[in-house]
Amino acid sequence: MLLVCLGTMSASASTLLNDIVAINLKADANYGSFVKTVGAGAEATYFSALSVDMNAGAGGDLLQISSTRSASSIDETNLFPVVWTFSLLNFSDGSVLSGFEVITSAFSDLVVDFGPDWLTLSYADATVPEGTLISGRFITTPVTQAIPLPAPALLVLTGIAGLAAVGRRKRSA
């Protein structure tokens, strides 16, 4: 199992359900981009065999890439990297992507890269088996925003601190 994460992990079950996401597959050529709304079942299908489900698993927090048939490269000496890019990831609870836990990978050289709203999976293996190729869990972190302290409150706090300092001086004198 491969876990790629930055920062702290969140226990929240963030999903992409009803989010509009962009999916792109590139190898020796660009095999197409899809902009889809995440729902039940596959969001994208390539070559009538590869499918991408971005709401898989019981909690809807898994990404799964599957193949209905196996295939292998004709020229295994000149492999092109295969790159899956998922972008516009806006999780249902407003959290951001902070990691991706690989649960299953049919590729020994799988590389994971990500940012707050994108994920890239790449590999160069020559054989694509039938079944689940890549399965992984999105790890998210809630976005916290600092609540600004209004200027009058800062003045009040400064005044209280000043009164406390004056009171200490009088007691010590």
Asked if the structure places residue 84 within a domain, the reply is yes
CA dihedral (90, 23, 135, 3) in degrees, to 10, reads -60
- Please, how many CA atoms are within 13 Å of residue 64, restricted to the half-sphere of its CB? 16
Give me the number of domains the chain comprises. 1
pTM of the complete model: 0.74
Range of the domain at 56: 2-141
Q: Is residue 169 in some structural domain?
A: no
pLDDT-based confidence at residue 7 (cuts at 50, 70, 90): very low
Model pLDDT for residues 43-62, shown as the tens digit of each residue: 988 888 889 999 998 888 89
150 located within any domain: no
- Is residue 83 included in any domain, yes or no? yes
Cα separation, 22 vs 36, whole angstroms: 7
Q: How large is the average pLDDT for residues 57-76?
A: 83
Residue 149 pLDDT greater than 80, yes or no: no
Count the neighbouring beta carbons within 10 Å of the beta carbon of residue 166: 10
Higher model confidence: residue 17 or residue 73? 17
Query: Looking at the domain assignment, is residue 61 inside a domain?
Result: yes
Least confidently predicted of 88-102, 109-123, 137-151? 137-151
Decide if 103 is inside a domain.
yes
Residue 97 maps to a domain: yes
Beta bridge partners of 96: 141
